[in-house]
Structure 1
């Protein structure tokens, strides 16, 4: 069994995810991700145990143009 996810950390890179929902001091504010375009490939890389437990950070969630090199 893995350790519980930290809801303030990105499950892909471990950096702050800047999630206003996880930050109790910013309660009542919408999270940046509510209006962001999230890269579907980034969502697929989230480990199963971290799904719906922690937001991606803006850098990991950033959608890449379809013609961008890998």
Structure 2
């Protein structure tokens, strides 16, 4: 398993179809859930653009941002 299959925030499997496929994919949960830029910017620079957040972190973080 490579680091692209792990959430950079919690380390759990991110369930991203792109991460586990050597070929481009047509659909994945992460294509349908917007992630606010500020959440990406909160990750360490070396982890940005390397892997998706997991659905749990993306949902929890997205909810926290909306209610602030």
TM interval, short-chain normalised: 0.7 to 0.9
5+ long unaligned stretches in structure 2: none
Coordinate RMSD, CA, aligned: 2.5
Distance 1:59 1:41, change over 3 A: farther
TM (norm. structure 2) is: 0.72
Greater helix share, 1 or 2?
Answer: 2
Provide the residue aligned with 2:6 in structure 1. 9
5+ long unaligned stretches in structure 1: none
1:20–1:26: 8 Å Cα contact kept in structure 2? no
Runs of 4+ in 1 over 2 A off after TM superposition: 24-29, 39-42, 65-68
**Number of corresponding residues:** 64
**Structure ID, larger Rg:** 1
Provide the residue aligned with 1:67 in structure 2. 67
TM (norm. structure 1) is: 0.70
